[in-house]
Amino acid sequence: MKISFYNGEFKNDDELRVKYQDRAFYFGDGVYEVIRYYEGEFFTLDEHLDRLMNSMAEIEIEGVSRQELLDIVTELKERNTIENGALYIQVSRGIQNRNHAYPVDVEPVVLAYINEARRPRTQSENGVHVITSEDYRWLKCHVKSLNLLANVMEKERAVKAGAHETVMHRDQVVTEGSSTNVFIVKNGVLKTHPANNFILNGITRLEVLKIAKQLGIETDETGFTVEELKEADEVIITSTTQEITPVVKIDDTIISDGQRGSVTNRIQEVFDANIHKLNLVK
């Protein structure tokens, strides 16, 4: 039986009751994180909690400490028997009758649950097809907000096109995917969009940049265009659950002869080693 957490209580899933007055439902008024763990051990936990606290500060949610969040995710993992999981945690502004203005004297509400998760080995080895689309989202994409309607619609656009992901762009400058960050490799240089308000500064994105530095791979965080995306030697999308996934086709353009590239291979090897170092995956 899975155990989840809501509004101060750990309960079996079939006993858990969510308040419909939670502002997460009315307005998407909250923020969230998805944290991976392997063989019972969290991966990049501190980075996820730091980003969650930053997102809360950005939308002025107060009343939940980092230590409280750490205690919740730690106990939730221990209460469940899932060895390889993705832990979802969200913090909403609280429970009140519908009113756009911030509520007064209302405590934030934390929701957390775990789903079993496996490493995306097939897509990591074979690569994926993505499509491109105009980025029409709001201008605070650095906040990991519950407001994901545009992302959902763009993901569905990819599904209907028989693709894995939609890569978005503003005025032909690539920002990110509907649920991923995007990198290209050109002439040995690893390029990605700068970490500003147009993208979420992904935890795996940061890991990839760190690995590139360790390997002596030149990086460029000034961004690139859709044209440069399609002319790249290699393309990678990254996220907590998708890890490091090579892109082998963009719209109708084949990338890297339809194979995972050499720079991607080098980064993937170190990423895997970082997990193995913690004795997480055999």
pLDDT digits (tens, 9 = 90+) for 233-272: 999 999 999 999 999 999 999 999 999 999 999 999 999 9
Full residue range of the structural domain in which residue 191 is found: 121-278
**pLDDT at 79 (0 to 100):** 97
- Can you state the angle between helices 203-215 and 262-277, rounded to 10 degrees? 110
On whether both 252 and 167 belong to a single domain, the answer is yes
**pLDDT at 59 (0 to 100):** 98
pLDDT mean over 21-47:
97
**pLDDT at 281 (0 to 100):** 47
On whether both 188 and 213 belong to a single domain, the answer is yes
112: domain CATH number is 3.30.470.10
- Rounded Cα distance, 227 and 189, in Å: 16
On whether both 164 and 102 belong to a single domain, the answer is no
First to last CA, the chain: 26
Task: Convert the pLDDT of each residue in 82-120 to its tens digit.
Answer: 999 999 999 999 999 999 999 999 999 999 999 999 999
Give the residue numbers annotated as catalytic, written as ranges. 144
**pLDDT at 6 (0 to 100):** 98
Q: What's the structural domain count of the chain?
A: 2
Task: Convert the pLDDT of each residue in 132-186 to its tens digit.
Answer: 999 999 999 999 999 999 999 999 999 999 999 999 999 999 999 999 999 999 9
Task: Convert the pLDDT of each residue in 171-207 to its tens digit.
Answer: 999 999 999 999 999 999 999 999 999 999 999 999 9
Q: List the structure tokens of 189.
A: 């240089």
On whether both 58 and 180 belong to a single domain, the answer is no
On whether both 135 and 166 belong to a single domain, the answer is yes
Q: Determine what percent of the chain is predicted with pLDDT higher than 70.
A: 99
On whether both 64 and 140 belong to a single domain, the answer is no
Place of tokens 């290699």: 234
